[in-house]
Chain A
Amino acid sequence: MLWSISLIVLYFVAFALYLAIRVAPQAQVLRGEAAPLMVLFDALAERTLALNSMTATARRAVLDRNTPALDSLRAFVLTIGSSPTPLLSDVPRDLRAPLAQSERLTADIEAGLAELVALVETGQSDSAASRLRTLDSLHAEVSQVVFQAERGGFAELAHLETRLGAEVRRAVAVMLAWGALGFALLLVAVSIMRRRVERPLADLRRGLDAVAEGDLNSRVEVRRDDEIGELATHFNEMTGVLRCRAEEQGRFAAAGQLIAGVAHEVNNPLMAIAALTDSRLEDANLPAEMRDDLQQMRRQARRAGKLLSGLLRFVRAGEPLGTSLALNEVVQSAVDLVSYRFGVEEVKLELRLDPSLPLALGSAGRIEQVLVNLLSNGLDALRGTDRPRRLTVDTWTGDGKVFAAVTDSGEGIVPMMERRLFMPFATTKGADGTGLGLYISRQILRESGGELRYEPTSRGARFVVELVAAPAETGVDAANGNSRVRSGRPEPTLRGVQVLVVDDEPAVRQPIARFLGRRGALVREAGDGHEALALIEALEPAVLLVDLRMPRMDGMELCERMAREWPHLLDRVIILSGDLSQLGDALPVPADRVLAKPVELREIERRLVEAVNGGQD
């Protein structure tokens, strides 16, 4: 709408200018030509009046012998020639000859008046009377010529006026013609603009609405190859990228669920392995060689379990925002996730982690995602470069901030990319990159009050992660790795305590039961929730170790039943699960009473003891 009004205003301004340019010079010419004509007529009128007056005076001087009249005439004669005659150059062509003639006749009359005075003064009355008649005749002649000149002058003025009027009429006609043409052109322009601008923009707006409603298959028709067409092409490309991204995320989410399921299935055997090896290792008479083998089995099981939990955390990333994290641990986790690539791609990793690092504000899972992205980028940048290939991760603190930097020894970022580095869809990896990694990473860090920035180096690229340090009281405990100060009291045990172990996997349940039995506990086993309920009703155990995923009645339902029927027992339940990430906020017990498989049997024992003693171990 605005452009339409602007167009109309512009048109009429141009129109006014046209009129000014077209008519003003003509008016100027009219004024230029009329002004000297008016001056000339004034001069002529003045001169004619003077002559009329002087011929009357001369008549009195000659015929009436009037002395004052003669004096007056003589005084007039003295002024003759003192004022210049008008220049004919300023006079219209047709008036030049009559004006020149009137000028000559007037000059003759003036000279005749001087002569008349002389004749009277020298007493030649007859000659004076004769000269007076001649002057009268000349006067009549000059009056006729002046009259003709004036008539010609008026005709000239009328002609000039007619010319101006014609010019104005022509200008008005042109104005009307241009106005009509302009209106028609305006309609055409509006139509064209609607077709060329408004319709494509409307298409684009509909496409954006569709995207906003989640339809990433929305496409806009590219009508032309101008700027709007380019916009439509970009829109289609963008929705394409978003679609790929969504599909990728969908696949990623599906993979996450798959991993969660696999983790649970794998964690149970790992737990069984760990429990069995732990149980065997309790035997003091075990041969040394077998002890070493069992210890090796236990380490590998733990390693596999740790890797699985890291994978689960990475794919779920479901931790709430604003929690605190130990950056060194997050760095280590991220490195673990991509560690297989260091060997394959012959990259030397150097970790220079500040051990005195305070906790930082943020979600460990999301920051780990950022760091994995930066490490992956670094590894990608090093691919194909000369050896040695080095990737360095530094952490440090200062000014209330906690920093981590990932530096590679690759070829660095080309200057033209630096400005667009953190923009969406900016990638140096061609079709292999989405161009969203750094953009999303920066968004994640900014949500935590942090920042991600690029720092050019002499060789390679350096990305710095900046996080806000957590308040001191939050961090001390966690930073010190949950170190606990133990009292000098005797170590509490499970000796004589009724323990109910509920797990559907005998390979997990039985070694735990045997271990706890050896530790003096009175252990009962249940294969699912129903069995557990029967035993609880019969025995009312002091503490329970409950697996979450079980057939017929799982751990969650069991806890709900306990909450209704034996609420006091719920405080003595330790949950055991192969996939903690699936629990979310729906845990039936506090988080510190949840153990992730695989877990050491001693840790299970310790937690059970804590539960029995109400957390006061």
Chain B
Amino acid sequence: MPSPAQVRTALLAGCLFAAACRNEAGPVALGVAYQAENLTLPAVELAIADLEAARQPGEPRIVHVVDSTLLGDAAETEVHRAESLVRTPGVAAVLGHSSSRGALAAAPVYDSAGIPQLTAIATSRRLRLAGPYTFALAPDDSAEGAFIGDFVAGQLGARQVALFCENDEYGRGLCSGVEAELARRAVRVVDRVPFNNAGDHATLLAATAQRSDPDVVIVAGRQMAVAAFAVAAAEHLPGVPVVAGDAALVLPDLANAAGDAIANIYVTSLWQPDARDTASRRFISAFEAKTGRRPGPFDALTYDAMMLLGRAIREVGRDPDAIAEWLRTLGDAHPAYRGVTGSIEFGPERKSRLVMTRIVDGTPVAVP
């Protein structure tokens, strides 16, 4: 029995196919390579609504299509998801995928199809090498790793660090970036432990505590793993702070799983909803009105990614090659896009707006 989301997607794909067959004036589809259950989908819907509201007469309507027939984010799943999206008629670009591993695995599919994929929250630096049709909005793991390393050595004054790296593209990349910065600052990595999401995090940390005496524990992993390590650290390494990357900042999951240990967690945020510009304030209020919660960095980046693709379609039309070229020359041939998360371009000079936060009352608060 198909879910309502699957039925909705199938109907939309049918409409798009009919429109594409009829003439060029039909709606333009933006594929969304997130799972339907993903919490960032409201940001997608908000962006689509804003694009529709701003649509001028004569401009095509922009719709989104979510492939929700696949569950999970394993690399092979993401490949199939990408193949499904590029086969959907009328898809001019794709938002996603949601993880570095997925985006990297799917990149060849988009290259072959000549359809740009814009990943909002994947941070692997290898995305730059993935192909001419892959664009990453978030700062890459080398930038984030340097930021975390700088915080750990500078703010926390760490001299010995234990690294827990999720054994996937995200965890490896982030750990690599952190190690580089720590080495530059002469901070010693006393332990380096790979883990997977379903692992026995408590035992891993206990063994580490037995082997070494770190000042700080850094966890390059998702929210549940970070929470588990934080809980174990509270037991085996009391007082030792746990610092995590952006992938852990999924609320309220992180706070709920960490319990009291949340007080000992520092987590990197790609965006904080404290911008004072009109667009950001409007987005925050609209998002809160729609979902009843404050938007997180993934929401903001997702919203910006959708709005950016909408702008590209408005500027150059529905041709995927033209959209990719427009994204490629952003900030060069034409001005950088001003989004909720700041100025967006894909050149080597791109600036990141990373913030270290602590979770206070279920809300990320920037560490001064």
Distance (whole angstroms) from the CB of B365 to the closest CB of chain A: 31
Query: What separation, in Å, do the CA atoms of A121 and B193 have in the docked complex?
Result: 14
Q: Which residue of A lies closest to B166 (CB)?
A: A111
In the assembled complex, which residues on chain A have CB atoms less than 8 Å from the CB atom of B176? 81
**Taking the complex as formed, is A397 at the interface, i.e. its CB lies under 8 A from any CB of chain B?**
no
Find out whether the CB atom of B107 lies under 8 angstroms from the CB atom of A80.
Answer: no
A100 touches B79 (CB 8 A): yes
Contact string against A for B residues 230-266, beta-carbon threshold 8 Å, 1 for contact and 0 otherwise: 0000000000000000000000000000000000000
Residues of A within 8 A of B130 (CB): 87, 89
| Nearest CB in chain A to that of B129: its residue | A87
A103–B126 Cα distance when bound, in Å, is 16
Q: Which chain B residue lies CB-closest to A101? A: B76
From the candidates B111, B171, B172, B203, name the one contacting A118 in the complex (CB within 8 A).
B203
Contact A93 B112 (CB under 8 A): yes
- Do A97 and B79 touch (CB < 8 A)? yes
Are the C-beta atoms of B76 and A97 separated by less than 8 Å?
Answer: yes
A77 at interface, CB cutoff 8 A: yes
| Chain B residues, Cβ within 8 Å of A203 | none
Judge whether A118 and B107 touch: CB under 8 Å. Answer: no
Q: Whole-angstrom distance between the alpha carbons of A115 and B167 in the complex?
A: 12
Q: How far is the CA of A112 from the CA of B198 in the complex (A)?
A: 10
Q: Is A144 an interface residue (CB 8 A)?
A: no
Asked if A39 is at the interface of the complex by the 8 Å CB criterion, the answer is: no
For residue B26, CB closer than 8 A to chain A, the reply is no
B199 touches A115 (CB 8 A): yes
Residues of B within 8 A of A111 (CB): 167, 194-196, 199
Q: Are B200 and A115 in contact (CB under 8 A)?
A: yes
B43 close to chain A: CB less than 8 A: no
The CA of A85 and the CA of B78, in the complex, are separated in Å by 17
Given A96-B105, A100-B79, answer yes or no on A121-B192 (Cβ-Cβ < 8 Å). Answer: no
Chain B residues within 8 Å of A88, by CB: 75, 79, 104-105, 107-108
Closest CB-CB distance, A44 to chain B, in whole Å?
15
B28 within 8 A of A: no
B126 touches A87 (CB 8 A): yes
Q: Say whether B105 contacts A84, CB under 8 Å.
A: no
Task: Name which residue of chain A comes closest to B194, CB basis.
Answer: A80
**What's the Cα separation between A101 and B80 when bound, in Å?**
12
| Residue A107, interface by CB 8 Å | yes
- Whether a CB of chain B sits under 8 angstroms from the CB of A91 is yes
CB contacts (< 8 Å) of B175 on chain A: these are: 81
Q: Does B74 lie within 8 Å of A104, measured CB to CB?
A: yes
For the complex, give the distance between the alpha carbons of A103 and B75 in Å.
9
- Determine whether the beta carbon of A80 is less than 8 Å from that of B167: yes
> At the interface, yes or no: A482 with Cβ under 8 Å from chain B?
no
Q: A124 in the interface, Cβ–Cβ < 8 Å?
A: yes
Q: In the complex, which residue of chain B has the Cβ closest to the Cβ of A100? A: B75
Cα–Cα, bound, A116→B32 (Å): 39
Tell whether B38 is near chain A: CB-to-CB under 8 Å: no
Residue in A81, A93, A121, A122 whose beta carbon sits within 8 Å of that of B165 in the complex: A81
Stretch of B206-214, B286-294, B342-350 at the chain-chain interface:
B206-214
A119 within 8 A of B: yes
A69-94, CB under 8 A of B: which get 1 and which 0?
00000000110110011011101010
The answer to whether A540 has its CB under 8 Å from any CB of chain B is no
Whether the pair A104, B75 counts as a contact (CB closer than 8 A) is yes
The SS class assigned to the B binding surface is helix
B168 within 8 A of A: yes
Q: What mask results when residues 82 to 104 of chain B are scored 1 for a CB within 8 Å of chain A, else 0?
A: 00000000000000000000001
Q: Which residues of B contact A85 (CB under 8 A)?
A: 169, 172
- Asked if A124 and B203 sit within 8 Å, CB to CB, the answer is yes
A106-144 interface with B by 8 A CB criterion: 107-108, 110-112, 114-115, 117-119, 121-122, 124, 127
- Neighbouring B residues of A84 by C-beta, 8 Å: 126, 172
Chain A residues within 8 Å of B112, by CB: 93
- Please provide the chain B residues from 281 to 299 with a CB less than 8 Å away from any CB of chain A in the complex: none
* Interface pair A100/B105, CB less than 8 Å apart: yes
* B131 contacts partner chain A, Cβ-Cβ < 8 Å: yes
Check if B204 is an interface residue, CB within 8 A of chain A.
yes
Q: Is the CB of A108 within 8 A of B171?
A: no
Question: What separation, in Å, do the CA atoms of A77 and B165 have in the docked complex?
Answer: 11
> How far does the Cβ of A94 sit from chain B's closest Cβ, in whole Å?
11
Contacts of B74 in A (CB 8 A): 100-101, 104
Q: How far is the CB of A101 from chain B (nearest CB, A)?
A: 5
How many angstroms between the C-alpha atoms of A556 and B192 in the bound complex?
140
Q: How far is the CB of B109 from chain A (nearest CB, A)?
A: 8
Given the complex of chains A and B, what is the CA–CA distance between A118 and B236 in angstroms? Answer: 14
In the docked arrangement, what's the CA distance between A96 and B80, Å?
Answer: 10
In the bound complex, CA of A88 to CA of B104 (Å): 7
Look across to chain A and name the residue whose beta carbon is closest to the beta carbon of B209. Answer: A122
Asked whether, in the complex, the Cβ of B193 is within 8 Å of the Cβ of A77, the reply is yes
Enumerate chain B residues within 8 angstroms of A112, measured Cβ to Cβ: 196, 199
CB contact under 8 A between A89 and B111, given known A101-B74, A111-B167, A118-B207: yes
Q: Is there contact, CB below 8 Å, between A118 and B206? A: yes
Interface centre among B199, B207, B210 (most CB of A within 10 A): B207
Q: In the bound complex, do residue B195 and residue A121 qualify as a contact, i.e. CB atoms below 8 Å apart?
A: no
Using A89-B111, A89-B131, A107-B168 as known contacts, say yes or no to A78 and B192 having CB atoms under 8 A apart.
Answer: yes
In the bound assembly, the distance between CA atoms of A253 and B74 in angstroms comes to: 114
Question: Quick one: closest B residue to A118, CB to CB?
Answer: B207
How far is it, in angstroms, between the C-alpha of A279 and the C-alpha of B272 when the chains are bound? Answer: 151
A119 touches B131 (CB 8 A): no
Bound-complex Cα distance A98 to B74 (A): 11
Shortest Cβ distance from B195 into A: residue: A111
**Which chain A residue shows the least CB distance to B206?**
A122
Whether B79 contacts A115 by the Cβ 8 Å rule is: no
Known: A110-B194, A118-B206, A122-B206. A81 touches B167 (CB 8 A): yes
Closest chain B CB from A151 CB (angstroms):
17
> Is B80 in contact with A119, judged by CB distance below 8 angstroms?
no
Check A97 against B207 for contact (C-beta < 8 Å). Answer: no
Q: Which residues of A contact B108 (CB under 8 A)?
A: 88-89, 91, 93, 96
CA–CA, A115 to B79, complex, Å?
29
Shortest distance in angstroms between A373's beta carbon and chain B's nearest beta carbon?
Answer: 81
A127 to B204, CA, bound (A): 13
* Interface members, chain B 304-343 (any A CB < 8 Å): none
A75 to B194, CA, bound (A): 12
**A91 contacts which chain B residues (CB < 8 A)?**
108
| B147-174 interface with A by 8 A CB criterion | 165, 167-169, 171-172
Residues of B within 8 A of A80 (CB): 167, 194
Tell me the B residues contacting A by CB distance below 8 Å: 74-76, 78-80, 104-105, 107-108, 111-112, 126, 129-131, 165, 167-169, 171-172, 175-176, 192-196, 199-200, 203-204, 206-208, 210-211
Q: Known pairs A81-B172, A89-B108, A93-B112. 14 more at Cβ < 8 A?
A: A81-B171, A81-B194, A87-B129, A89-B129, A89-B131, A100-B74, A100-B76, A100-B105, A107-B196, A111-B167, A111-B196, A118-B207, A119-B200, A127-B200
Chain A residues within 8 Å of B, Cβ to Cβ: 77-78, 80-81, 84-85, 87-89, 91, 93, 96-98, 100-101, 103-104, 107-108, 110-112, 114-115, 117-119, 121-122, 124, 127
- Which 4 A-B pairs have CB atoms at the shortest separation, nearest pair first? A100-B75, A118-B207, A111-B196, A97-B76
A sample of 8 inter-chain contacts (CB < 8 A) reads: A89-B129, A101-B76, A107-B168, A111-B199, A114-B204, A115-B195, A118-B206, A121-B211
